[in-house]
Amino acid sequence: MDATTDELDELLVRDAQLQALVTPVWVLAALTVAATLGLVVHAAAMSVTCWIGSWLVGPWVISRAAPLLRTPPLLKYLLFLSCAMPPLSLAAPLYLWRACRSTRDEVQTRVRERQARARRRASAPGAAPAAAPTVATANVAAPVAPVQAALPVLRAVSAGMGDGRELEFRIADPAAAAKAPGASLPPLRSALDMFAVGYHVDAGSHWTSFTRDDMKAAGLDLNALHRQALSNLMKLVKGQPGLRLVEGHAYNGVLLDGDHEACLVLLDGIWEALFADKTPNGAVVSIPTRDVLAFCDARSAEGIAALREANARLKDAKGAVFQGLLLRRDGRWSVLD
C-alpha cells in the first residue's frame, strides 16, 4: 500500500467520523434552543431539563469533535463552559455545525483529489485494468489530443520577465546536458512580468511536457498554446474538481486538483472577482509548491507572518515553486520585500 492510498484511507475515516457527529450536534442544538426558549417563556421545567441535557451532551460532543476539527484548547474549554450558561450555550452547536461542515467539505475535496491521482496511476501503461471501470475512470482514460488537455505549469518566478516572451530553458546539470546535446527542450513563456510558464499534459501516471513537436503538429504558436492552457485551467476552476476556498484564521487556502493550485496566479479573473472582497488592500500570496496556494490581505501582518511560517515548513517539499511571497496590487504582481 503506497502513501497516497494510506492518506486516502485516513481521509475516508475522518470523513466518516465527521458524518457521525451530525446527529449529536443536532441533538445538542435542540437542547440548547429549548433551554433558551424555556427561559424566554418562563417554562422552568423545560428550561432546567434541557439545560441539564445540554450540560451532559455538550462536553461529550465537543471532546470528540475537537481533535477532528483541530479546535484550539482554549476555545474548546470556553465551549465547555458555555454549555452551562443559556443562552451562551447556543455558541457550542453553532460552532460545531459550521466547523464540521467546513472541515468535511475540505476533507471530501481532498478525497476527490487523491482518488483522481489513483485513477491516473491505474490508467498508466502496464497497470492492471479495473474490473468494472466507472464513468469517471472512463473519462480520465479516454484519448484526447494533447492541445485539448495542455495545462500550464510554473517553472520559475522572477521579476522583470516581461509577458509573451519565449524564454530559454537550460539544463542546469552539465552532466545531464552532455548526455543530450542539441536536444529540443520544452517551450517556456513569460507571463505577467513575473512567471516562467511551461505546459504539460496528463499521461495517466505522470505529467509529460508539451513539446515543440506537439506545437507544430497542432499548428500553434507559443501565445496560442498559452491561451489554450489558461482556458483549460479555467475549465478546472469552473468544472470538476472545481475551485474550493478554505478560509482560515490568518490566511485563506485554495484547493483545485492537487497539481495546479500555484498556477491560479495566472488567472486575473479570479483575483479581480472571486478574491477581491477578501483582499481589499491587495493580496499577499504564497505558492511554495505546485499544489499549494494561500493568500491574505496585504495589510494583515498576522497573515503575512503565518504565510512565511508555512513556506518555511514546505521549503524541501516536492514540486517547489517559490519560497518568497508575492504581492498582487492594482492588477500587477511583484515580489514582497
For 220-231, the DSSP string reads --HHHHHHHHHH
Return the higher-pLDDT residue of 5 and 242.
242
| pLDDT for the residue 336 | 92
pLDDT in tens, 171-224: 555 555 454 444 567 899 999 999 999 999 987 778 888 888 888 888 889 999
pTM: 0.58
Distance (Å, whole) CA 52 – CA 49: 5
Residue 127 reports pLDDT greater than 70: no
| pLDDT for the residue 193 | 94
pLDDT in tens, 33-83: 888 888 888 888 888 888 888 888 888 888 888 888 888 888 888 888 888
pLDDT band, very low/low/confident/very high, at 119 (cuts 50, 70, 90): low
Question: Which DSSP letter does residue 219 get?
Answer: T
Spell out the residues 6+ positions from residue 60 whose beta carbon is closer than 8 angstroms to its own. 24
24, 100 contact by CB (below 8 A) = no
171, 185 contact by CB (below 8 A) = yes
Spell out the residues 6+ positions from residue 182 whose beta carbon is closer than 8 angstroms to its own. none
Q: And the C-alpha cell for 181? A: 546535446
| Most confident by average pLDDT, 104-113, 138-147, 263-272 | 263-272
Return the higher-pLDDT residue of 12 and 133.
12
DSSP H or E segment with residue 246: strand 244-247
Q: And the C-alpha cell for 55? A: 450540560
Tell me the pLDDT of the chain averaged across its residues: 81
pLDDT (average), residues 112-120: 63
pLDDT in tens, 283-335: 999 999 999 999 999 999 999 999 999 999 888 788 899 999 999 999 999 99
Alpha helices (H) along the chain: 3-20, 22-40, 44-69, 73-82, 91-122, 135-141, 146-149, 174-179, 212-218, 222-238, 268-269, 301-313
Spell out the residues 6+ positions from residue 118 whose beta carbon is closer than 8 angstroms to its own. 4, 5, 8
Q: Which of 68-77, 125-134, 269-278 has the lowest mean pLDDT?
A: 125-134
